[in-house]
Chain A
């Protein structure tokens, strides 16, 4: 569906995108993560056609995305700004923005009504948008991007500044849109949203992708492990001795104290072996917790902890 190859963009001396490459399939929901200044918005702006002066190629459905204005009919954007007219009603906004695409008027009205139902704004379709809450405005903002049933949807932080219910509603819409076959690129700083919504995650920084894949794949890429925390009636020395010969590439003793110890395991299949050893050495275990590596740990491992401008 979308092939981005060696996309490079500079602002004066700053390299915003550095030979950025990415492929996206139909129906794939890609979460694009990165710290401030990573190049996410630059990428979205280039794909949306609002930023020029770059090198590289972007092919969409086998054609150069920027060579044919007609392709804009297949591209939808949900910008971070609330980009609609607050003095118009929700319905009037949808009809105006939808009218800029080649959607027949009769279909447009029907589609607008459907979307208002989807985002739960049908009851207030005729009201001026300035009377809407932040969450309602975000839902309308999202609906506008979907009017013309795009094949590629770009969302730039679509859930900023709204409550949990509104956020969940929008994320549901994104999942459903992906399930219906639309390819989605979704940028956000909210890691939890990406974990629950996206089928694929890309982490970028300094204009390049550092790692991409599912969460498990990312964890493996960065070498993060599950942490197994064991609580029981044992001495630290006895515990250390018990697991000593298990330690290796797949098991690592992280800490041991009287009654509590933690191990890093690269594969949870090692856990039964560990428990077996402890049982053989007659070390009493009363509790065990497994903490899987989070996207946050992966993200921080890849991008570092330094604060960004």
Chain B
């Protein structure tokens, strides 16, 4: 055990003395994540959704349509919607080009129909390429329609009076008669106010905070989603570099010298696998720390994530221990190692969303550590314990270690 720890300590010290390769492998995923985040992240930090581009076609051009327009002009609504008033032809052109999530068309005669308590229609044209932003617009317009309907029905009498006055020429409008009508409306509003003030039922916004639950995509969440895929890919590169010592020591005589000492082959093999595991964990922790500090990435319960990282590092060390025992020399290790890692990363989901991949790719991805680590990280982020990914990573890692140990032991015979 003493000699195992001596070899382990020596390896760790050596790699820390020359950390350039490791630092580069840590920096690359950070830079790539930052670039992707900058390109694809939502524009605002504050809002939970990006401002939704909405086109408004006002064919009515009267005071009710102006009220509708005004509803979008409120501060809170401005954060949610980016409204452009246009005509229908231009609006449809923009919709075809995908320049907006939805177009609302207020038909001609909307106000008059409303005042006449006739059914009228607001048209919402939705962009079929978008999944849920057009639905948000539709819901909002629904809400407005309900409110308007309610208001018109509550003030039906007054509305009739106002309607009749609108039909008359301006100089024929009996302005003195407006007073009583408005007076009635005022009484209704005051009466309504007695019932409505204080409001017995109030709306209160409350954000739920289930452990680990984050359901909406912000810029922070984008990094949290991307970073695990990047981290596992570069973990593979780092551990592969570290485990290449096994090959280089065989070639340059150090292994032979070690075998002339009382050091047992199993102690050497154990030190190498343990070293790969520990260094892999350390590097993963650095990536997590940097991801949190720089990108404010959210990982979920740290203990669970640590366990997942331990499983992934163990798998990686065992795999590259076996790999190093199977290749003939450093050149072969270099030539084969990178394609293997890239294949893992491609099929495993480090480079693209697994759900966007063809079925065959996803099936192959089940054989990669990337898939299980990414899935596990997602579960942890959502507040769930990553049981299945842990089992798969530890169990398959044990199988690889069981293969690696005798293979490495044979390689210690010089």
Nearest B-chain residue to A53, judged by Cβ: B413
Residues in B whose Cβ lies below 8 Å from that of A274: none
A166 vs B402: C-alpha distance in the bound complex, in angstroms? 47
Known: A51-B414, A52-B413. A97 touches B261 (CB 8 A): yes
Question: A100 contacts B3, CB within 8 Å?
Answer: yes
Per-residue interface assignment for chain A, residues 97 to 136, with 1 indicating a CB less than 8 Å from any chain B CB and 0 otherwise: 1011110000000000000000000000000000000000
Q: How far is the CB of B260 from chain A (nearest CB, A)?
A: 4
A52 vs B257: C-alpha distance in the bound complex, in angstroms? 15
A81 within 8 A of B: yes
Residues in A whose Cβ lies below 8 Å from that of B13: 88, 92
Nearest B-chain residue to A73, judged by Cβ: B262
Question: B262 contacts A50, CB within 8 Å?
Answer: no
A-B CB contacts (within 8 Å), total count: 67
Question: B260 contacts A77, CB within 8 Å?
Answer: yes
**At the interface with chain A, which of B26-34, B108-116, B248-256?**
B248-256
Residues in B whose Cβ lies below 8 Å from that of A50: 256, 259-260, 413-414
A83 within 8 A of B: yes
Question: A100 contacts B256, CB within 8 Å?
Answer: no
Main secondary structure of the interface of A (DSSP, over half): loop
Question: Count of B residues near A, CB < 8 Å?
Answer: 21
Residues in B whose Cβ lies below 8 Å from that of A97: 257, 261
A82 vs B10: C-alpha distance in the bound complex, in angstroms? 18
Within 8 A of B (CB), among A59-82: 69-70, 72-73, 75, 77, 79-82
A173 vs B7: C-alpha distance in the bound complex, in angstroms? 29
Q: How far is the CB of A105 from chain B (nearest CB, A)?
A: 10
Residues in A whose Cβ lies below 8 Å from that of B253: 79-83
A80 vs B13: C-alpha distance in the bound complex, in angstroms? 26
A51 vs B412: C-alpha distance in the bound complex, in angstroms? 10
Within 8 A of A (CB), among B281-295: none
Q: How far is the CB of B373 from chain A (nearest CB, A)?
A: 31
Q: How far is the CB of B212 from chain A (nearest CB, A)?
A: 43
Nearest A-chain residue to B252, judged by Cβ: A81
Per-residue interface assignment for chain B, residues 1 to 38, with 1 indicating a CB less than 8 Å from any chain A CB and 0 otherwise: 00100100010011001100000000000000000000
Q: How far is the CB of A108 from chain B (nearest CB, A)?
A: 11
A77 vs B259: C-alpha distance in the bound complex, in angstroms? 11
A84 within 8 A of B: yes
Q: How far is the CB of B253 from chain A (nearest CB, A)?
A: 3
Residues in B whose Cβ lies below 8 Å from that of A85: 10, 14, 254
A234 within 8 A of B: no
A48 within 8 A of B: yes
B327 within 8 A of A: no
Residues in B whose Cβ lies below 8 Å from that of A81: 252-254, 256-257
Question: A100 contacts B261, CB within 8 Å?
Answer: yes
Nearest A-chain residue to B413, judged by Cβ: A52
List the interface of chain A (C-beta within 8 A of B): 45, 48-52, 69-70, 72-73, 75, 77, 79-85, 87-88, 92, 96-97, 99-102, 144
Q: Which 6 A-B pairs have the closest CB atoms?
A: A81-B253, A100-B261, A83-B253, A83-B257, A48-B260, A72-B262
**Can you report 28 residue pairs joining A to B where beta carbons are below 8 Å apart?**
A45-B414, A48-B256, A49-B259, A50-B413, A51-B414, A69-B262, A69-B264, A70-B262, A77-B257, A77-B260, A79-B253, A79-B256, A80-B253, A81-B252, A81-B256, A83-B253, A83-B254, A83-B257, A85-B14, A87-B14, A87-B17, A88-B14, A88-B17, A92-B13, A97-B257, A100-B6, A101-B261, A102-B262
